Chains A and B, each alone.
Chain A
Amino acid sequence: MPKQVGPPDGQPDPERHIMAMQKQTLLERRYSMLGLLLIAPTVLVFCAVIVYPLISAIYLSLFKIFTPTLEGTWVGLDNYRELLTKGEFWTSLRTNLIWTVGTLSLQIIFGVGMALVLHQNIWFRSLARSLILFPYFISTVVAVLVWKWLFNDLYGILNHFMMSAGLIEFPIDYLGTMPNAMISVILVGAWKYFPFVVIAVLARLQSIPDQLYEAARIDGAGPIARFFDVTLPQLREVLVVIILLRAIWDFKEFDLIFLLTGGGPVTSTQTLPLVVYKEAFSLNQMGMAAAYAVIMMLIMLVFMLLYMRRTRTEGS
Chain B
Amino acid sequence: MADVVLSNVNKKFGTFSAVENLNLDIQQGEFISLLGPSGCGKTTTLRMLAGLEFPTSGEIRIGDRVVNDVAPGDRDIAMVFQSYALYPHMSVGQNIAYPLKKRRVPKAERGEMVAKTAEMLQLTPLLNRKPKELSGGQQQRVALGRALVRDPKVFLFDEPLSNLDAKLRGYMRAELIELHQRLGRTMVYVTHDQLEAMTMSDRIAVMEGGKLQQFAPPQEVYRAPANRFVASFIGTPGMNIVDGELREENGRWLFEAEGLSVDAGHLGPDARPGPAAMGIRPEGLDIGAGPITGTVQLVEQTGHENITVVRLAGDLRMTGRTAPDQIWKTGAPVQFSIDATQAHFFAEGPTGKRLNREDPAVEAQAANHATLKEAIS
- The 8 Å CB contact of A220, one of B79, B82, B85, B102, is B102
- The answer to whether A218 and B87 have CB atoms under 8 Å apart is no
Which of under 10, 10 to 19, 20 to 34, or 35 or more describes the interface residues of A? 10 to 19
Within B96-119, the residues touching A (CB, 8 Å) are 98-99, 102-103
Given the known interface contacts A211-B81, A225-B102, A229-B98, the answer about A217 and B52 at a Cβ–Cβ threshold of 8 Å is yes
The answer to whether the Cβ of A233 comes within 8 Å of any Cβ in the partner chain is yes
The answer to whether the Cβ of A28 comes within 8 Å of any Cβ in the partner chain is no
- The answer to whether B81 and A219 have CB atoms under 8 Å apart is no
- The 8 Å CB contact of B72, one of A209, A212, A218, A236, is A218
- The answer to whether B89 and A236 have CB atoms under 8 Å apart is yes
The answer to whether the Cβ of A183 comes within 8 Å of any Cβ in the partner chain is no
- The answer to whether B85 and A211 have CB atoms under 8 Å apart is yes
- The 8 Å CB contact of A233, one of B52, B72, B78, B89, is B89
Residues of B within 8 A of A216 (CB): 87, 98
- The 8 Å CB contact of B52, one of A214, A221, A222, is A214
CB-nearest residue of chain A relative to B78?
A218
Return the CB mask of A218-255 against B: 1 if under 8 Å, else 0: 11111001000110011010000000000000000000
Return the CB mask of A175-214 against B: 1 if under 8 Å, else 0: 0000000000000000000000000000000000101101
The answer to whether the Cβ of A215 comes within 8 Å of any Cβ in the partner chain is yes
- The answer to whether B73 and A219 have CB atoms under 8 Å apart is yes
A221 to B89, CA, bound (A): 16
Give B209 Cβ to nearest chain A Cβ, in Å.
Answer: 25
The answer to whether the Cβ of B40 comes within 8 Å of any Cβ in the partner chain is no
A218 to B103, CA, bound (A): 11
Given the known interface contacts A209-B83, A225-B102, A229-B98, the answer about A217 and B73 at a Cβ–Cβ threshold of 8 Å is yes
Residues of B within 8 A of A225 (CB): 102
A218 to B86, CA, bound (A): 13
Residues of B within 8 A of A212 (CB): 85, 87
- The 8 Å CB contact of B83, one of A211, A221, A222, A229, is A211
The answer to whether the Cβ of B71 comes within 8 Å of any Cβ in the partner chain is yes
The answer to whether the Cβ of B146 comes within 8 Å of any Cβ in the partner chain is yes
Residues of A within 8 A of B71 (CB): 217
A180 to B184, CA, bound (A): 69
Residues of B within 8 A of A215 (CB): 79, 81, 85-87, 146
A222 to B101, CA, bound (A): 12
- Among B74, B82, B87, chain A packs the most CB atoms within 10 A around the CB of B87
A218 to B154, CA, bound (A): 12
Given the known interface contacts A212-B87, A229-B87, A236-B89, the answer about A219 and B77 at a Cβ–Cβ threshold of 8 Å is no
> SS class of chain A's interface: helix, strand, loop or mixed?
helix
Residues of A within 8 A of B103 (CB): 220
The answer to whether the Cβ of B239 comes within 8 Å of any Cβ in the partner chain is no
Give B202 Cβ to nearest chain A Cβ, in Å.
Answer: 24
Return the CB mask of B141-166 against A: 1 if under 8 Å, else 0: 00000100000000000000000000
A225 to B82, CA, bound (A): 23
Given the known interface contacts A211-B81, A229-B98, the answer about A217 and B72 at a Cβ–Cβ threshold of 8 Å is yes
Give A233 Cβ to nearest chain B Cβ, in Å.
Answer: 4
The answer to whether the Cβ of B50 comes within 8 Å of any Cβ in the partner chain is yes
- The answer to whether B87 and A220 have CB atoms under 8 Å apart is no
A221 to B87, CA, bound (A): 13
Give B74 Cβ to nearest chain A Cβ, in Å.
Answer: 8
Residues of A within 8 A of B81 (CB): 211, 214-215
Give A313 Cβ to nearest chain B Cβ, in Å.
Answer: 14
A214 to B47, CA, bound (A): 10
A98 to B7, CA, bound (A): 63
Give A102 Cβ to nearest chain B Cβ, in Å.
Answer: 29
Residues of A within 8 A of B86 (CB): 215
Give B89 Cβ to nearest chain A Cβ, in Å.
Answer: 4
CB-nearest residue of chain A relative to B104?
A220
- The answer to whether B73 and A221 have CB atoms under 8 Å apart is yes
- The 8 Å CB contact of A218, one of B79, B82, B88, B89, is B79
A212 to B102, CA, bound (A): 15
Within B56-75, the residues touching A (CB, 8 Å) are 71-74
- Among A209, A215, A218, A225, chain B packs the most CB atoms within 10 A around the CB of A218
CB-nearest residue of chain B relative to A236?
B89
A219 to B80, CA, bound (A): 11
Residues of A within 8 A of B83 (CB): 209, 211
Residues of B within 8 A of A220 (CB): 73-74, 99, 102-103
A222 to B72, CA, bound (A): 10
- The answer to whether A219 and B146 have CB atoms under 8 Å apart is yes
A214 to B46, CA, bound (A): 13
A5 to B277, CA, bound (A): 75
Residues of A within 8 A of B89 (CB): 233-234, 236
Residues of B within 8 A of A219 (CB): 73, 98-99, 102, 146
Within B247-284, the residues touching A (CB, 8 Å) are none
A204 to B102, CA, bound (A): 25
Give B78 Cβ to nearest chain A Cβ, in Å.
Answer: 7
CB-nearest residue of chain B relative to A214?
B52
A84 to B339, CA, bound (A): 101
- The 8 Å CB contact of B87, one of A214, A233, A236, is A233
Residues of A within 8 A of B146 (CB): 215, 219
CB-nearest residue of chain A relative to B156?
A218
Give B86 Cβ to nearest chain A Cβ, in Å.
Answer: 8
A217 to B99, CA, bound (A): 9
Within B208-240, the residues touching A (CB, 8 Å) are none
Residues of A within 8 A of B77 (CB): 218
A229 to B87, CA, bound (A): 8
**Ordered nearest first, which 8 A-B pairs have the shortest CB separation?**
A220-B73, A220-B102, A215-B85, A219-B99, A233-B89, A211-B85, A217-B72, A218-B72
Give me 13 other A-B pairs in contact (C-beta within 8 A), A218-B73, A219-B146, A233-B87 excluded: A209-B85, A211-B81, A211-B82, A214-B50, A214-B52, A214-B72, A214-B79, A214-B81, A215-B81, A217-B73, A218-B77, A219-B99, A233-B89
Q: List 20 A-B contacts (CB under 8 A).
A: A209-B83, A211-B83, A212-B87, A214-B50, A214-B72, A214-B79, A215-B79, A215-B86, A215-B87, A216-B87, A216-B98, A217-B71, A218-B72, A218-B99, A219-B73, A219-B146, A220-B103, A221-B98, A234-B88, A236-B89
